[in-house]
Amino acid sequence: MSCCAAGTACAAVAGGEADAILAESRVEADGLRQTVLSVPGITCGSCVQKVETALRALPGVESARANLSNRSASIRWRGDVPPGLIQALQRIGYDAHLHDAAATETDPAVAELLRALAVSGFAAMNVMLFSASVWHGAEPETRTLFYWLSAAIALPAVAYAGRPFFRSAWKALRHGQTNMDVPISIGVLLTCAMSVYETATGREHAYFDASISLLFFLLIGRTLDHLMRERARQAVRGLARLSSRGAMVLQESGATAFLPVEEIQPGMLLLLAAGERVPVDSVVRVGASDLDCALVSGESVPQAATLGTRLQAGTLNLSAPLTIEAVAAAKDSFLAEMTRMMEAAEGGRSAYRRIADRAARLYAPAVHAAAFFAFVGWMAVNGDLHHAVTVAVAVLIITCPCALGLAVPMVHVVAARRLFERGILVKDGAALERLAEIDAVAFDKTGTLTNGTLRLANAPAIRTDALAVAASMAAHSSHPYSRALAATASGAERTAFSAVQEFPGFGIEATAGADTYRLGRPSWALASAQDANDDASVVLAKNGALAATFAFEDSVRSGAREAVATLRSAGVAVELLSGDAPPPVRALAGALGIPFAARLRPGDKVARLHSLQREGRKVLMVGDGLNDTAALVAAHASMAPATAADVGRNAADFVFLRDDLMAVVQAISIARGAAVLVRQNLALAIAYNVVAVPAAIGGLVTPLVAAIAMSASSLVVVANALRLRGNLAPTPRATAQPALQAAE
């Protein structure tokens, strides 16, 4: 192909990318556009910084934020032509493409680490067999043979199993930086090189067992850490899967056609069947139904939808078909806004620096300096290159951060086991570290502090015959009120009706002989206007006259009172943030003795969390609904019950499987205990180096002894991790909490 033709092809590709970016970008206020790109090469904080710097340098780019958790970048830019976003990232070595929140791709590093761990473990066992023979006094010829056999096993295994460390170290060095993988790589490679030299020259010591054992121990810690973090990118994907794939569109000719949700435009008429979720923000044009808004707004009571009712994407249509008009495209709908809030919050959370990462920033340069000065010092003392290199290698091995690499993951694995025994699942180790720091807890109401299942509260006050009639009518409906009524009178004798009809949004009408019964809203069921404005109550009317009034309530979750009392006694501030109506929220908050805010939209909950964070609080959010998802991600740490929506469980750091809300207290207790052990392990690793490094620099330790000492230090931190227990004791921190203004 000629240069001209190649240039034309490249321009065509670039033009196609620009058109795709323009089409997928969301238009914001003041002419700004927002584009989200997937950048699979983002693997660390340094990557985040480089990606953001490269994007912000482009003309027209107002801001750029990289997200380590889901490996994406959100860019806000101005203009009619995209400013070469993908090309800018490619120039610094990062491939990129338009972000698909629903993609199910997984982190390939996990599979690679598992394979590397298997190879290194197998090789270490076999090399150790040959080493044991040498240690028991093999003849020189036999010793050399065993060393060559060890080399045949260890060198290919090191080359394969060490790739995760070698790549990371090389990437850091290429950019003039260092990380914990640099001393690991140098130590392993120098050990292998020295061992080959020692074997080829017939010397007494070779250290193939040390090099492969180093990798095996380090890969254990690295693999455990990645396995716990693999699920950290599921929340946004779960939210995208919650949205509809498409909808039946009513065309001008009267025909219907299915369109993917991305192709639905404002003004289109959509047919929404009972049991389907609203695909995009819409308005009801024909029909009436009941809506389950619990996941979207937190409303515990189904809401009526009639002509002109505004529907949010993700709301579930319960009882009757509707014709709705789209008022926003999919990328501008409620679910899309939730996705953007979650990604923004997750990007902020991904800036949290792990304890091991913070320690490694200081640890790696110290290791390099110690090995370098040991080499220079011994060269100055006796000029023996072989001895100086041996001492430097021993220093690198004995200071190899195996204990540091295992100190944190092992504690987190033990903590995950302790939590699992109590019915609590943890997503990743960073969540444990954040949970240990929390000093405030914000609870959602419906499905969190309560069980999320309505029950009849005044059953003893209702006549048996009226309850039997109401239960018989309720059996013909799937409405939550109907299910509660039917469950209460499940053993009662059923009333036979000649006709039963459900009126979506109003109630049920049944005929028995000459009598007509209505079960539903007072304003619809009763002939008079009494109680007609009480939309939260349900009545049974016989021929228009009141026969019974039914009151429903959502029961408080088991352990809620004990959990709140324990948290407050431990100095943790507690409050209730709910999207439900003020009366039920106020009643629950009063029973628990905590401040509250009601009728909060998802953005309001996030704003409240940010307000607490500005006050210096580290907040744990406990919620279950779609309306809690952004808050779950925005909080310092988060929990959800197993009964939560899929997206809520994916967004949360912890999921508790049992109904008892004391799980929140237990999780905090274990996390704080784990934090203490992590600090102890880091202290043990430092103390080990304080003793071992001077011995290695003094030439008193061979690389083999250094490897044994390194392994022993790793076993010590593992044994210490097994001591984990948890106890949430009271703290001297003041328990006073500012009152919240309820949204009436």
- Catalytic machinery residues: 444
Q: Are 588 and 449 in contact (CB under 8 A)?
A: yes
Question: In sequence order, what are the residues at sequence separation of 6 or more whose Cβ sits closer than 8 angstroms to the Cβ of residue 742?
Answer: 582, 585, 586, 596, 597, 598
CA distance 635 to 620: 6
Q: Residues for the chain: how many in total?
A: 744
User: In DSSP terms, which residues pair with 519 in a beta bridge?
Assistant: 508, 540
Tell me 533's DSSP state.
T
The 3-state DSSP class for residue 505 equals coil
DSSP 196-216: HHHHHTT-S---HHHHHHHHH
Q: Enter the DSSP assignment of 449.
A: I
d(CA 369, CA 390): 16
Dist CA 732 CA 115 (whole Å):
49
> In degrees rounded to 5, what are phi and psi of residue 157?
-65, -40
Cα separation of 137 and 147, whole Å?
13
Cβ contacts of 368 within 8 Å, gap of 6 or more: 178, 182, 183, 186
Contact 575, 737 (CB under 8 A): yes
Ramachandran area for residue 172 (φ above 0: left; ψ -120 to 50: alpha; else beta): alpha
Cα angle value 380/381/384 (rounded, 5°): 85
In the DSSP assignment, the letter for residue 571 is T
Residues sharing a CB contact under 8 Å with residue 158, sequence separation 6 or more, in sequence order: 123, 188, 189, 192, 211, 212, 215
Whether residue 548 contacts residue 467, with contact meaning beta carbons closer than 8 Å, is answered with: yes
Gap between the Cα atoms of 707 and 574, Å rounded:
50
DSSP-based three-state secondary structure for 663: helix
Phi, psi of 109 (to 5 degrees): -65, -30
CB 320 within 8 A of CB 299: no
SS (H, E, C) 275-298: CCECCCCEEEEECCEEEECHHHHC
Q: Which residue has the tokens 């060559």?
A: 148
The burial class, CB within 10 Å (0-12 / 13-18 / 19+), for 647 is: buried
Alpha-carbon separation of residue 534 from 107, 679, 738 (angstroms): 53, 57, 32
| CA 676 from centre of chain | 24
Q: Which of helix, strand or coil describes residue 130?
A: helix
73 and 55 Cβ atoms separated by less than 8 Å = yes
